[in-house]
Amino acid sequence: MSITVESLRKSFGAHSALDGISFEVPKNAFFCVVGPSGCGKSTLLRAIAGLESPDEGRIALDGRTVCDGHTDIPSEERQVGVVFQSYALWPHLSVARNVSFPYEAKGTGRAKALRLASEHLETVALSDYADRRPDALSGGQRQRVALARCLAGDTRTILMDEPLANLDPHLRHTMEGELRAFHDRSGVTTLFITHDQREAMALADIMAVMENGRFLQLGTPQDIYDRPANARVARFIGRGAIVGADVSGREARILGQTVPVEGAGGHMVFVRPRNVTPDPDGARMTIRTISYRGGHWEAVAFDTEAQIEVMLDLPYSAHVGDEIGLRFTGGWVLPA
């Protein structure tokens, strides 16, 4: 189901949680909204789910207006399923019944519903916990029950509010794969909100970077990573440094080197680690920080005189204070 949002506004007192957001998510897309705590992600999700009334604007699902100045379709009639940070499980039901409930609610017999539910419990690695009550589970396990229940609900749009936040890194990685596979298999549209840009990039077909109730940029993960719309997006997504440079056409001058660049319009060049290579004949810079990342070292190097700092990956170890020659192989000119 496609999601259309037009000029959506929501304030809490003087604070604008949604500041006139508009976007369109095509049917079957995995859409991730990423942004820092308090930027308005949950408010946006709640408004689409029908759990929060916007002050202004319009929301449509598959072209059908579910909310505007005149209409406000109740949450349960929007065919959206929500997985919250807070799990929202039924405490009096076993894990299996929590997951089978969406089937039972639609009239499937108990035995068949439990059989279907057991497949989803297997997906989230909770088969052994089927008979427990939610209060006898860890936070991460409860989250997985909520995900399994979402898989069981026949919703056409699934809204997820940081569903993986409480999982340990290994399980989180596995669940990312499961979620994406489920999304592809089921043909649902997914809106997934997270403050973790790595997670957003791993999952999304389209993603938006949100700040202060607005989208700073909306595009494919590759678009946003390779061509950030401004310095705030560049700083938020992945590692890199913004370097002042003389830009002329497709070239920039950085520390005496002529560097091929993409983009146009400004004099700030965004340089990713992949754009910086050790080269004994390159510009002399000093290592400021260095840490091992398994197979390579992540470092920050600086030039005091030019006041330039860059991030790079080194295939070998070095020490803070070491001087190193660096060559710049590319960059993205941030729009002015």
Contacting residue, 43, 98, 100, 217, with ligand ATP by CB under 6 A:
43
Q: Quick check: 223 and 189 in contact, CB under 8 A?
A: no
**123 near ligand ATP, rule: CB under 6 A:** no
Stretch that binds ligand ATP, among 41-49, 113-121, 268-276, 280-288 (CB under 6 A): 41-49
Contacting residue, 32, 34, 40, 255, with ligand ATP by CB under 6 A:
40
Radius of gyration of the chain (CA): 24
The strand pair at 297-303 and 276-292 is best described as antiparallel
**284 near ligand ATP, rule: CB under 6 A:** no
Closer residue to ligand ATP, CB minimum distance, 41 or 142: 41
**183 near ligand ATP, rule: CB under 6 A:** no
If binding means CB under 6 A, how many residues of this protein chain bind ligand ATP? 12
Separation between Cα atoms, residue 57 and residue 51, nearest integer Å: 15
CA atoms within a 13 Å half-sphere pointing along the CA-CB vector of 98? 28
Nearest-CA neighbor of 205 among 80, 23, 33? Answer: 33
SS3 159: strand
Smallest distance from the beta carbon of 273 to ligand ATP, in angstroms? 27
Strand ordering across the sheet containing 189-194: 80-83, 157-161, 189-194, 30-34, 206-211, 214-219
**195 near ligand ATP, rule: CB under 6 A:** yes
Give the relative orientation of helices 110-123 and 139-152 as an angle to the nearest 10 degrees.
130
Smallest distance from the beta carbon of 6 to ligand ATP, in angstroms? 19
Contacting residue, 34, 39, 245, 326, with ligand ATP by CB under 6 A:
39
**197 near ligand ATP, rule: CB under 6 A:** no
Contacting residue, 38, 278, 282, 335, with ligand ATP by CB under 6 A:
38
DSSP collapsed to 3 states, 298-309: EEEEEECCCCEE
Nearest-CA neighbor of 30 among 245, 198, 193? Answer: 193
Interface residues for ligand ATP in 14-33 (CB under 6 A)?
15, 17
Smallest distance from the beta carbon of 17 to ligand ATP, in angstroms? 4
Count of residues making up the chain: 336
Closer residue to ligand ATP, CB minimum distance, 82 or 324: 82
Contacting residue, 8, 21, 30, 41, with ligand ATP by CB under 6 A:
41
Closer residue to ligand ATP, CB minimum distance, 82 or 255: 82
- Lookup: tokens for 255: 């520390």
Judged by the rule CB under 6 A, the positions of this chain that interact with ligand ATP are 12, 15, 17, 35, 37-43, 195
